[in-house]
Amino acid sequence: MVRGRIRNQAVAEDLVQEIWVKAFRAWDGYFEDGRLKGWLGRIAQNHLRNYLSRDSRVLFLSLDGEDEDGETLYACLPGSCTPEEEYLQSELISEVLDVIAKLPDAQRQVIRYRFFDGLSVSETARAMQVPPGTVKSKLHYALAQVRMQLSSGTDCAIKKQKGVWGMECRNTYKYLFMYAKGALEAESRKRVEDHILKCSACKDIVCALERLIPQMTFGREDEDCHFLIHFPTAHLSFCGARHEIEDFERLNALLESRGGKIPESESWMVSGFGKGNKLLGTFDNEGNEIQMEVWTKDERHHQSRAVRLEKVFHYMWEYSVFLDDGSFGCITRAKEAPNLYYGSLHNCYGGQIKSALYQAVPASAGNIRMKRGNGVVDCGPYTFPYADRYVSAEEQISLDYSFLQDD
């Protein structure tokens, strides 16, 4: 059951339940085969069209109303609907469903229990076998991710602009760091600029990165270096690693003879990462995108290797962008106080290296106290607690801190 601000409770419940139940009957199969968006869009659009033919109401999806626990997914408001508005509303429903489908499993599950099955927080906690506080935390970050992806989606429908969303946030994410660094080719740069004109969430990430990057230190040019910048709300991480490649001239000659392609028999730029993460893109020193192949190494890890690249540098940077499942870095609400939060981020690179961790918290966060780490960097829309030091082989670098944040 939906607990939002609904003028006609009976109509709203019928309409919403029908759309979401239909969508979730075949949820797993369509999520796995990669054709989810079109399928969900047809369900939503057809159901909405049938509803509108029976009644002069229109379904609006909102992320601003509150249920009994302070969270909501959508509300139903009365109003007339032109064919154009009908199209936009069905597109909005499709976008919400699509965004939820791409959330990590635990977040999809908590949204399903709370909003589709109508369970309370305590009932959801029992179903998921976790504490109620974990349910609230997962729901908070799940809805924050939906807000991030939709980037004022409600306004999009009201403005009646068919193409108002432009490129989806997740399709823009991989370019944001290189854009902020000023090392992105013209076509991709324009795509980012077109998107952030309409998306305040991605614009805030870019603004924060533009302020953070000049303040980061990378050691001497001939030293191995690694950094990770984590935006927990967006489940987004920007990673960079620099290594010396002594035979770069020979490798460049080899690349040129092959047209930039790397045969399957050779392993270039091989790296591993957790299975809960999704590699969105990798770039070199000059902002050229490196084509990567990803495969499953074991039940916990993926591996990737380069299959095509423009150039090898003497001191080679690999800038990679990941969507994560929230397992390696998180911000959690404390039990002892409603506005107290704990943040943590950990990484082990596996070699002697200069390593740095940065985790984004809202600029409104106050009283940031470091347990492990170097300090805090103010970067406009976000503040970054960080840790930055040299680590030995297999040594883990850790960032732990707390802050106050009013809801």
| Residues 231, 142 share a domain | no
Same domain membership, residue 246 and residue 142:
no
Q: What is the pLDDT of residues 299-310, one digit of tens each?
A: 888 889 999 999
Per residue in 385-406, pLDDT tens? 999 999 887 788 899 999 998 7
Q: Does 1 reside within a domain?
A: no
pLDDT at 235 over 80: yes
In terms of residue numbers, what domain contains 383? 216-407
- 141 with 242, same domain: the answer is no
Chain center to CA of 195: 16
Judge whether 80 lies within some domain.
yes
327 and 398 part of one domain? yes
Residue 181 within a domain: no
- Whole-number mean pLDDT of the chain? 75
Report if residue 200 sits inside a domain.
no
pLDDT at 68 over 50: no
Do 220 and 160 lie in one domain? The reply is no
Structural domain contains residue 141: yes
What would the two tokens of residue 281 be? 């893109």
- What is the mean predicted confidence (pLDDT) over 127-152? 75
The CATH code of the domain that includes 53 is 1.10.10.10
Confidence label for 16 from pLDDT (cuts 50, 70 and 90) = low
Domain boundary pick from 150, 165, 180: 165
Token output for 195: 């998107």
Does one domain contain both 220 and 132? no
Q: Tell me if 3 is assigned to some domain.
A: no
Position 52 confidence tier, pLDDT thresholds 50, 70, 90: very low
Residues 157 and 239 in one domain: no
Q: What is the pLDDT of residues 291-345, one digit of tens each?
A: 998 888 888 888 899 999 999 999 999 999 998 766 666 788 888 887 898 999 8
Average pLDDT over residues 62-91: 42
Does residue 154 form part of some domain? Answer: yes
pLDDT-based confidence at residue 139 (cuts at 50, 70, 90): confident
Instruction: Tell me, yes or no, whether 366 and 232 share the same domain.
Output: yes
The predicted model gives 259-267 an average pLDDT of: 87
CB 241 within 8 A of CB 272: no
Could you tell me the CATH number of the domain that includes residue 394? 2.60.40
Please give the tally of structural domains in the chain: 2
Determine, yes or no, domain membership for 177.
no
Whether residue 278 is predicted with pLDDT greater than 70 in this model: the reply is yes
The answer on pLDDT for 156 being more than 50 is no
Say whether pLDDT at 372 is over 60. Answer: yes
pLDDT category at 74 given cuts 50, 70, 90 is very low
Residues 139, 234, single domain; the answer is no
The pLDDT of 2-8, averaged and rounded, is 34
